[in-house]
Amino acid sequence: MRSSSYAFHEEYFKLLWGNSPALNALNLADNEGLDYDKDLNLLFAASGDFRNIVATVNTLPGNYSNAATTVINDRDDLLTARTVIFLLIALIEDSALAAELILHLWYSSRLTPTLMSVLGSKITPEMSRSVEAAEDKNQGDLISQSWSLHSATVSVHLSRTQWYFILKVLQAKHSVAESEPNRQSITVSKRRSDHRERHYYNLTPSMRLCSHKFRQGGVLLPFGYSDKNFNVVNPTLFNPETGNWQQRDIADPLLGYDIASVSQFPVGGSPKEDINGRLYFYVLSSLRKFHHQLRSIKLKFVVHGVDATILPKHLPSTLGFATNI
């Protein structure tokens, strides 16, 4: 693990959490109309994190009976890996378990042993089989793997190196004793205290407490919840080789959502000022709806991991029809 003296070298950081509110890229109500009865083809050419995909898919009407194909692409291997992992978890039958696991893989630096065991038993074997299928392929070849459940299909088209990388991430073993001090050397660095205070200035006193607690603890939970069972490192938020935290200190899950929608989200018994608690239940509810959409609408997700400028040449073969991008 690298020394924390490297903490603010920009080359080591990734944008794993969105820094603008989730966008519904389709918005049928204001465009084609909620009674639209043709197939839909959506493209996220440089997708970033998962929030825009969830926000868009969740707005499809329950009575939509045609097919919706969503192409998701990002040239960053870790972002692509996380997208693939999240989509495969969404195929798990247990809605509550799937939503909880995606939420904590997305935003928490540590997982419970139960959540980690699900990841190890459900997702890692699938990646192992994908790596085996890629072993006799050329380095530049795209290796395609597909998974289906009910009305949903996840079709992934990656290079051999990218398949190996996903498996490497899932199999990484990091020590909490090393990973947490490394993360905190960035999120609560004494050298950046002025930066944090300027951020806190725009928050209410209670929200400052929530924000600081998350920076210190690293687990997205309501304020009063215990995180003592979260004692396994989340392998998707740390460098699989060095074990270093992958994001800058300005990274904040709340930046990926409309704060008014989060703060007004109805949660029985949750204090109004517990903004992280509201965010936890808001994201959990969104992921449960996403899980439901995969079982009630004909959805196909096509995942690539290339530069957006060369994506068009791959789409005819992976989509099965010509494109005019």
State yes or no: pLDDT of 322 exceeds 50.
no
pLDDT at 293: 96
Report the predicted TM-score, pTM, of the whole model to 2 decimal places: 0.93
In this structure, are residues 152 and 300 in contact, taking their beta carbons and an 8 Å threshold? yes
Query: Which is it for the CA torsion 80, 141, 67, 28, positive or negative?
Result: positive
pLDDT at 74: 97
- Between 322 and 29, where is the model more confident? 29
180, containing H or E segment:
helix 176-187
State yes or no: pLDDT of 11 exceeds 50.
no
Q: How many CB atoms lie within 10 A of CB 205?
A: 8
pLDDT tens digits, residue range 76-100?
999 999 999 999 999 999 999 999 9
| C-alpha span between 69 and 43 (Å, rounded) | 8
pLDDT at 136: 83
**Which tokens in the block code for residue 54?**
């969830």
pLDDT tens digits, residue range 260-298?
999 989 887 678 889 999 999 999 999 999 999 999 999
For 79, list phi and psi in degrees, rounded to 5.
-60, -40
Q: Give the single-character DSSP code of 162.
A: H
Terminus-to-terminus CA distance in the chain, angstroms? 43
Q: Pairing state of beta strands 232-233 and 110-111?
A: antiparallel
pLDDT tens digits, residue range 167-190?
999 999 999 999 999 999 999 998
State yes or no: pLDDT of 8 exceeds 90.
no
pLDDT at 320: 64
Indicate the pLDDT class of residue 12, thresholds 50, 70 and 90: low
Mean of per-residue pLDDT scores for the chain: 91
pLDDT tens digits, residue range 125-172?
999 999 998 888 877 789 999 999 888 999 999 999 999 999 999 999
pLDDT at 60: 95
Name beta bridge partners: 142.
159
Share of the chain above pLDDT 90, in %: 76
Contacts made by residues 176-181, CB under 8 angstroms, sequence distance 24+: 176/110, 176/231, 176/232, 176/233, 178/1, 178/243, 179/1, 179/109, 179/233, 179/238, 179/243, 179/245, 180/109, 180/110, 180/218, 181/4
pLDDT at 229: 97
User: Helix 95-107 vs helix 77-90: angle between axes, to the nearest 10 degrees?
Assistant: 160
